[in-house]
Amino acid sequence: MYLGVDIGTSVTKAAAFDEEGALLAVEARRTRLDNPAPGRVEQDLEDVLGSVGEVARAVVAKAGAVPRIVGITGQGDGVWLTGPDGRAVRPAISWMDSRAAPIVRRWLAEGEIEKSFRRTGNAMFPGAAGPILAWLDAEEPASLDAADTAGYCKDAVMRRLTGVRATDASDASLPFLDPWTRAYDTEVIDRHGLGHRAGLLAPVADPLPVGELTAEAAPLLGIPAGTPVVAGPFDLPAGALGSGVVRPGDGHLIIGTTLACQVLVDTVDTGGEPVGMTLATATPGRWLRAMPAMVGTAALDWVLGLTGATHEALDGMLSASPVGAHGVGCLPFFSPAGERAPFLEPAARASFHALTVHSDRTDLTRATCEAVAYAARHCFEAAGLGGGVATCGGGTRSAAWLRIFADVLGRPIRLAPQPETGARGAVLAARLALGEDVDLAAWTAPVAVIEPDPGRAARYDELYARYRCLVDGARLGWSAA
């Protein structure tokens, strides 16, 4: 039996798989997001670690077996500051946090974001480690002084479980990794005024950090000390691997809190608009060109909450409003941190247009779901999608929304094995890192394929063109604000 743990932004999940990849058991626990001030989002490492223990123990009990290997994945970006004992020196600053937005705006104006992108293929946004570290260096230097590591979520958990202080190439990619050498680019670090803090960056373990569960941490997971534990890649690449994205040109769509659109590539392109991520995978010569938009299921959650509707009613509501939502349109940029892909604009904000007194909540809901699908198409165009698309994430529970995605993208969508595709990817990555033979095709066979409807796809081509015009106009306004 194999145990995969996926530490999401608001939910920690664990899943057990047998040798052939069949799901044996799954468990989830919500974790706390703290908002100490407007635009600030933080998490407590002890709360997160406790959730990891709860889901792991529950899954092991359900499966009735001891795992041979534990694979860990989790949310990326943000900054998780820990000291020499592996404990947090302050609450973790989430990737959703926007306190560093003024720094990003300054770096944009000075051309530093573009200069870094031309070297790394990664564009920083307010929740990325670079701007957050710069903010901490200016506003909370004592926190950095007390830490020995400025790492990421899964790395902080890995350290507490095994004592291993390391990260992997995927998490290290944004913002400081040289994609070709797979080492930190000191020039980029220095140019952002963080050379004196470079020692806080965890060593990059290639292909992945590997350790053994310590005697101290074993009771937390309820499994024997000495069990191999492998950290990484973080949730975007883990989800792609768990969805069977292994051929260059193929795409992966995560319909979750983040709308993550990524394409597996075998070359690094640092041209074009400086936006998105170029994530090194565990395989040298393979990268994920990722466009993780800030839009996603959070936009739908907001609209459903505003209108008093439930997620269980979503498919019915989408059926009650036609393609195009009776003319109602939406720009789905609801995050207070703005947008990071397929364009970088901290000032981006959401809006509805073409509303009348005849518009109802089904139109608002459909317009939002369509807009998120348009955002996915925009991201995939920027990432260079050339093949098929596999998908996973909480949003895939709605069959009607999946049909909208297929029609807007105009191509079939493979539904990855559900649930816990990220945990599946973490286990696959762990087994490969430890040299085990794995039947990737069997482990990642799609459970369904959603075909686009030609008539609806043609109509969505027209509506998508309108969406792009509205986005272009809004970007001019946001930039001038």
Q: What is the three-class DSSP state of 168?
A: coil
- Number of Cβ within 10 Å of residue 353's Cβ equals 13
Q: In what order do the strands lie in the sheet with 2-7?
A: 23-30, 11-17, 2-7, 69-74, 228-231, 210-212
Evaluate if residue 237 carries a pLDDT over 90: yes
pLDDT of residue 118: 96
Tokens of 438: 């794995």
Average pLDDT over residues 200-207: 96
- Which of these ranges, 11-15, 267-271, 294-298, has the smallest mean pLDDT? 294-298
Q: Which of 107, 108, 77 is nearest to 93 (CA)?
A: 77
Alpha-carbon distance values, 363 to 259, 320, 409 (Å):
21, 8, 21
**CA angle (253, 397, 254) in 5-degree steps:** 15
Q: Are the C-beta atoms of residues 121 and 179 closer than 8 Å to each other?
A: yes
Q: What is the three-class DSSP state of 355?
A: coil
Average pLDDT over residues 12-37: 96
Encode pLDDT of 388-407 as tens digits.
999 998 899 999 999 999 99
Q: Name the DSSP letter for residue 203.
A: P
Q: Are the C-beta atoms of residues 442 and 20 closer than 8 Å to each other?
A: yes
Query: Residue 268 and residue 271: Cα distance in Å, rounded?
Result: 9
Evaluate if residue 117 carries a pLDDT over 70: yes
pLDDT of residue 61: 97
Average pLDDT over residues 145-168: 98
pLDDT of residue 309: 94
Q: What is the three-class DSSP state of 452?
A: coil
pLDDT of residue 256: 87
Adjacent-strand bridge partners of 263 = 251, 289
Query: Residue 375 and residue 4: Cα distance in Å, rounded?
Result: 30
Q: Which of the four pLDDT bands, split at 50, 70 and 90, describes residue 171?
A: very high
- Mean pLDDT (the chain) is 95
Q: DSSP E strands: which ranges in 327-464?
A: 329-331, 351-353, 389-392, 413-415, 448-450
Q: Which of the four pLDDT bands, split at 50, 70 and 90, describes residue 419?
A: confident
pLDDT of residue 481: 65
Query: Residue 464 and residue 90: Cα distance in Å, rounded?
Result: 44
Average pLDDT over residues 80-98: 96
Alpha-carbon distance values, 78 to 31, 130, 139, 340, 464 (Å):
16, 9, 16, 14, 32
Encode pLDDT of 176-185 as tens digits.
999 999 999 9
Q: Are the C-beta atoms of residues 368 and 385 closer than 8 Å to each other?
A: no
Percent of the chain exceeding pLDDT 90 equals: 91
By the 10 Å C-beta count (0-12 exposed, 13-18 middle, 19+ buried), 322 is classed as middle
Average pLDDT over residues 297-307: 93
Query: Residue 386 and residue 264: Cα distance in Å, rounded?
Result: 10
pLDDT of residue 162: 98
Q: Which of the four pLDDT bands, split at 50, 70 and 90, describes residue 70?
A: very high
Q: What is the three-class DSSP state of 33?
A: coil
Query: Residue 423 and residue 105: Cα distance in Å, rounded?
Result: 35
